[in-house]
Chain A
Amino acid sequence: MVKYRRWCGVALAVVAAIGVAGCGGGDSARTDGDTTTVTVMTHDSWSAPDALIAGFEASTGYKLRFQSSGDAGEVTNKVVLTKDAPVADVVYGIDNTFATRAVDAGVLSAYVPGDLPASAAGFALEGDGADRLTPIDYGDVCVNIDDAWFADHGIAPPRSLDDLTKPAYRGLFVTPGAPTSSPGMAFLVATVGAFGESGWQDYWRALMRNGTKITSGWSDAYGVDFTAGEGNGTRPIVLSYASSPPFTIPKGGSRPTTSALLNTCFRQVEYAGVLEGSDNVAGAHAFIDFLVSREFQASLPENMYVFPVDDAVALPRLWERFAKVAPSPITVAPSTIAARRDEWLKAWADITSG
């Protein structure tokens, strides 16, 4: 009885909540039908020059609104969860490790931009996804090494994934964890691609035996543990991006002190898509057209550190010289990733926390 009374306040709140839910839930269709605003759901790496956004708004008459939070996984899950009442008109930032989840959930409507660059075709999803998600950019997640450190220590730098398990490189590698970081996840997929379903677990066991350090995010792997990062790191091998080396050009110098191992890369492709149930389909289409336009594609390297899918777009000078893309990145089919990722992650967690 006492317990009952104690919680009657909470119970009252619950009743009130249900009441409100009842009122609001009756007609789930959006009735405002706002066709002047385009709401974009994206991850928190979103960045674009103000002038480009203003240009889009001026030429189309649409007003853009961005809702940016989390990473590719969070974005994907949010659009899947809000299927019945989408929170945006268009989504940008779903990557190839999550693409199939979004496509399978049926939250996207078909759209292929009319002037999709020819080179984009190489990044298109297969099957259902082909017309649901438009590739916008890609980036290679690769093992980076601090060349300066290896030169100073007179050690030959590693050259491959296999090298990372060798005693010479014991305790020198740091990578963000797969469940908490999207580059971490990409690296896990890379190892699956490189060693196969049967071999990747042994590879990770070997990595762990060789003193590999796992951090929660890219920022502390690179910023705290990596020797060429901001902190006083002690590990000269880090999982990062193919686009990272240009950031390590010392002041007054002309060459980066680090490099990416291009045979260790997994290619992350980012897509955009129109959300099913959007009340501004035309606006959403216009925005996707904008994302594949020359101007926006050209802004990608400087703003989001990724490569444009349009290979006709010129890269910044430093990128031309130092940010190489992997000639043949390790690949795993998005559908395989979608089907297997949970099991991989669970197995990975068991291996790395043991």
Chain B
Amino acid sequence: MALVPLLFLAVFFVWPVLTMIGRGLIVDGALDLSGFGEVFASARIRRVIWLTVAQAVVATGVSTALGLPLAFVAYRLRFPGRAVLRALAVMPFVMPTVVVGIAFRTLLAPGGALGGLGLDGTWTAIIAALVFFNISVVVRTVGVAWEGLDPRAGEVAASLGASPWQVLRTVTLPALAPAIVSAASVVFLFCATAFGVVLTMGGLRYGTIETEIYLQTVQFLDLRAAAVLSILQMVVVVSMLWVVSRTRGQDTGQRRGHRSGAAARPGAGHAAALVVTAAVVAFICAPILSLVTRSLRNQGGWTLEHYRNLSGSGEHNALLVTVWEAAANSLRIALVATILATALGLLVAITVGRPDRTARARRLRSAFDAAFMLPLGVSAVTVGFGFLITLNRPPLDLRTSPWLVPIAQATVALPLVVRTLVPVLRSIDDRLRQSAAVLGAGRARTFLTVDVPVLWRPLLAAAGFAMAVSLGEFGATSFLARDDNPTLPVVIYRLIGRPGTENAGMAMAGGVVLATMTVVLMGLVERLRVRGVGGF
């Protein structure tokens, strides 16, 4: 059963990437590794490597540090508007980078609301944007784990004389460590392979391995350098995943409590967390507000004109379709991608979600887990161009297939689905399945009667999340040769790249529409979500 998703990964990820790398490293039928020496000899490349690692580490650190208090407030405290806070915290993750980039720059540019900070085009601005996108990963993953954590361990610690701060440091954070590590590793992958954000916020001054791969492939057509850099990127990513899988392997599993519902009312003791939360919320809202403002303004006045224009195809027919048609395309493609990702994710989860009876099974499981995380950590350029040169002949001639985009998006959403479902399946007592089997249920019947009732809600939640991700997905989509059915992010990108106030205004309005679709979807997911389950 596990073979299907494995084959999917092999065909739609490993094969294209390896072929692309092979193009660079195999010259006249012989392996040519001289590129490594040349690439590493360049001072600029060494700087790029250093910047990539530094940027990913710093952005991951800041995202984690700011995400933890937010996770606490959103998932451990009880107050009106908590659902809104949760949806808001997840929204940036699925926002299209182009729109956010422009919104950020509008704020930070010398004439912008925050222009006085002098951050425009600086490294700090890049980090800020990366944090903006990734803080939601931390909030969601850690928040969900925190919500499921039995508060009584902390209460015991307090009774033993630990101050709230000591409880946090010595009991709560260690118990959350697997979730924190998991979140941080996903954030690291996203930051290490960030592309659009880095270019928009800082240009090439702060180039990363990813932007360098883009340059070498798209501008210089230096496939050898690109291949070397792709391998380098994979080495960074794989070693990261290896470290993480070891940490997760040591997951001691603080038991989930029966009394985990005890969310507290905000009090004076939560002041620090509340202050950080308020600051982070302001930080998340600022670019979004700037986006909304721009979508509502034209020639110095307030107007809904840009929204009315969404039913057209832009000034001078800038688009081939109306924005609403593109939104419909997005939904349709996202639906296909979601079904693909959810079905495959379910197969993976069923395979790895069963209890490990042997050490070998456990190792296999972590290998599986890591393998399905890889697509998050490999250059979209390499994958996109790899698609182009591999999936172009029979029997897999997908060049112009409408499946190509959903497949690419499914590859990105798959790891998130797997990470949502596995903990649920693992939480099912295997004895239930055994009882069902004893009562004469076959494998399928057992699955239907034992697993499905527990699984359907998280499955829907995972599907909703996958859908939100694929709605906002731009990187992989943009590098594919796509058909005439542009998605909303693609259309927004196109509008931004066109002259004319009307087009720019429509781009902003489109961005607001996309953000709204996402928030609504995440709100539904939030309602469906089973308590204590559903992080990455």
Contact = CB atoms under 8 A, between A and B. Distances in A.
B287 to A, nearest CB: 12
B367 A10 contact: yes
Interface string A1-35: 01001111110111011101101110010111000
A353 B202 CA distance: 10
B221 A77 contact: yes
B7 A247 contact: no
Interface in A209-235: 213-220, 222-225, 229-234
Given A66-B483, A87-B392, A234-B111, A20 B318 contact: no
A250 B301 CA distance: 13
Interface string A82-125: 10010110000000000001000000000000000000000000
Interface stretch (B446-454, B496-504, B528-536): B496-504
Interface string A284-317: 0000000000000000001101000000000000
Contacts of A244: 499
A134 to B, nearest CB: 22
Residue among B9, B490, B497 with most chain A CB within 10 A? B497
Contacts of B496: 219, 223
- Chief secondary structure at chain B's binding surface: helix
Interface string B34-62: 00000000001000000000000000000
Interface string B113-126: 00100000100000
Contact of A47 (B218, B317, B396, B397): B317
A207 B402 CA distance: 46
Contacts of B393: 24-25, 28, 30, 85
Interface in B383-406: 385, 388-390, 392-397, 399-400
B6 A9 contact: yes
A39 interface: yes
A224 to B, nearest CB: 5
Interface in B488-514: 490, 493-494, 496-501, 504-505
B364 A305 contact: no
A321 interface: no
Contacts of A346: 44
Interface in B1-41: 6-7, 9-11, 14-15, 18-19, 23
A85 B385 CA distance: 14
Interface of A: 2, 5-10, 12-14, 16-18, 20-21, 23-25, 28, 30-32, 39, 41, 44-50, 65-70, 73-74, 77-78, 80-82, 85, 87-88, 101, 177, 179-180, 213-220, 222-225, 229-234, 240-241, 243-244, 247, 250-251, 302-303, 305, 342, 345-346, 349-350, 352-353
Given A10-B371, A234-B109, 12 more contacts: A8-B364, A9-B371, A46-B320, A47-B319, A67-B481, A77-B217, A78-B388, A214-B205, A231-B111, A231-B112, A234-B110, A349-B204
- 9 tightest CB-CB pairs across the interface, nearest first? A17-B15, A232-B111, A67-B481, A216-B199, A13-B10, A9-B367, A230-B504, A16-B10, A17-B10
19 contacts: A5-B367, A13-B14, A16-B10, A20-B11, A45-B498, A66-B483, A66-B484, A67-B399, A67-B482, A69-B479, A69-B480, A179-B219, A215-B105, A215-B121, A216-B203, A224-B106, A250-B299, A342-B222, A352-B205
